[in-house]
Amino acid sequence: MAIRIIVDANPIISALIGGISRNVFFDKRFEFLTTEFTLNEVKKYIPTISKKSGINEEEINYALRLLPIIVVFREEYEKYILEAERWIAEIDKKDVHILALALSTTKISHFGQRQLRHLEAELSTGVSPVA
Amino acid sequence: MGFGEKMETKIAISKNLIPEVEVFVDRFGFKNETEFVNDAIKEKILALKRDAFIKVTGRIAKGLESKGVFEKEILADFEMHRG
């Protein structure tokens, strides 16, 4: 069974511009999930990548569509958003959706402070493995 | 039909492949031929996607490199944009 990994926007951006993370996404040992919110953040940045690279937006959008990432809609993790905000909004508000998705996927809400610190460290690297 | 639901489609497999499929179904613990074929197709699609992705993102990387822009700068700029 594939290991589920929740990805923030940074590894997706990195993959799109040819960074090291691009190979990991195609490793069948893993299953990648992200939120619609995160995907929209990436989409908003595509015009900038296009401008900086000289590659047209359509092509970059095509690359984004090729990534085997499951996009989870807000309704799926909505009830964990408040909890995620309590944990992380003061540290980094933009990670609330990713944390809410992680909470909905792992029942990590039952974890203690030590696990939270570990999770924060994972979020800061942009990649968070889940059970 | 919802995502992931099975739709039956008949696909002809070359005669010479069938004995090989049977061997691998047995040896590698697939439930049956269908599971084997589904798995093989999934892997093929992933490989094709990977090849296409590497090509396109290779062009993006080259474009950035030619303008002296590096991954670190892009990621820092993206963080700034996110606010």
Write out pLDDT tens, residues A17-40: 999 788 889 988 889 999 999 999
Across chain B, what does the average pLDDT equal? 89
The three-state (H, E, C) secondary structure of chain A, written as one string? CCEEEEECHHHHHHHHCCCCHHHHCCCCCEEEEEEHHHHHHHHHHHHHHHHHHCCCHHHHHHHHHHCCEEEECHHHHHHHHHHHHHHHCCCCHHHHHHHHHHHHHHCHHHCCHHHHHHHHHHHHHCEEEEC
What is the pLDDT at residue A127? 57
CB contact under 8 A, B64 and A53: yes
What is the pLDDT at residue A93? 81
Contact residues on chain A for B57, CB-CB shorter than 8 A: 15-18, 22, 63
Interchain CB contact of A53 with B (< 8 Å) = yes
Q: Please tell me which residue, A126 or B19, carries the higher pLDDT value.
A: B19
Classify B32 as helix, strand or coil: coil
Interchain CB contact of A61 with B (< 8 Å) = no
Flag whether pLDDT at A122 surpasses 70.
no
- The pLDDT confidence band at residue A108, using thresholds 50, 70 and 90, is very low
What is the pLDDT at residue A121? 55
Query: Which of A1, A12, A14, A17 is the mutation pick for testing B, counting most B CBs within 10 A?
Result: A17
Minimum CA–CA partner of A29 in chain B: B43
Interchain CB contact of B54 with A (< 8 Å) = yes
Arithmetic mean of pLDDT, B13-30: 90
Contact residues on chain B for A60, CB-CB shorter than 8 A: 56, 60
What is the least distance, in Å, from the CA of A68 to any CA of chain B?
8
Flag whether pLDDT at A15 surpasses 80.
yes
What is the pLDDT at residue A95? 87
Interchain CB contact of B59 with A (< 8 Å) = yes
Arithmetic mean of pLDDT, B54-73: 96
CB contact under 8 A, B61 and A59: no
The CATH superfamily holding the domain A3-130 is 5'-nuclease (3.40.50.1010)
What is the pLDDT at residue A57? 98
* pTM, full prediction: 0.79
CB contact under 8 A, B75 and A14: yes
Arithmetic mean of pLDDT, B21-39: 91
